[in-house]
Amino acid sequence: MKFWQLNTRRKKSLVEALLVLSAYKVILIFLPFRHFVKNGKKTAITTESEERLEDIIWAITVLGNRMPLGFTCLVQALSVKWLLRNNYNLQLHIGVSKSNDHQFSAHAWITHDDKIILGGQKNQVYEPILNWK
């Protein structure tokens, strides 16, 4: 579907997601990941509407699949975590895996109420090293 054919809510989600994805892609070049995972004081927690949750996941997925240089799973997960920062049921996971030929790989994904909503892979065999709520 073309951008101009989308409803206003979806257009807004796409633009917002593109800005945040681009910002994280650039920021991760200059700052180590540890700067993002800080346990600050919790303020009053609210949840995002189901509609907003679906729109943001849709926008991140569309942009992640269609942008020429793409966005890594970590950039996508950080962007979702920031865009839906008021949703206390959202969790960012990072896992690592070592293949039979000793190749190391890492992956980031997002869960909501313990269900993978972004970054899920068939036969996901990553050993979680970080679960950030």
87 found inside a domain: yes
27 found inside a domain: yes
Domain that holds residue 55: 3-32+45-132
Q: Which residues of 31-63 are buried (b: 16+ CB within 10 A; e: fewer)?
A: eeeeebeeeeeeeeeeebeeebbebbbebbbbb
Q: How far apart are CA 47 and CA 112, in angstroms?
A: 11
| Number of independent structural domains in the chain | 1
39 found inside a domain: no
40 found inside a domain: no
For position 99, what pLDDT does the model report?
78
Q: Which residues of the chain have pLDDT under 50?
A: 44
Tokens linked to 93: 């996971």
96 found inside a domain: yes
Q: pLDDT, tens digit, for every residue of 49-58?
A: 889 999 999 9
Stretch (H or E) spanning 116: strand 115-118
Distance of CA 74 to the CA centre of its chain: 7
State the pTM of this model: 0.82
106 found inside a domain: yes
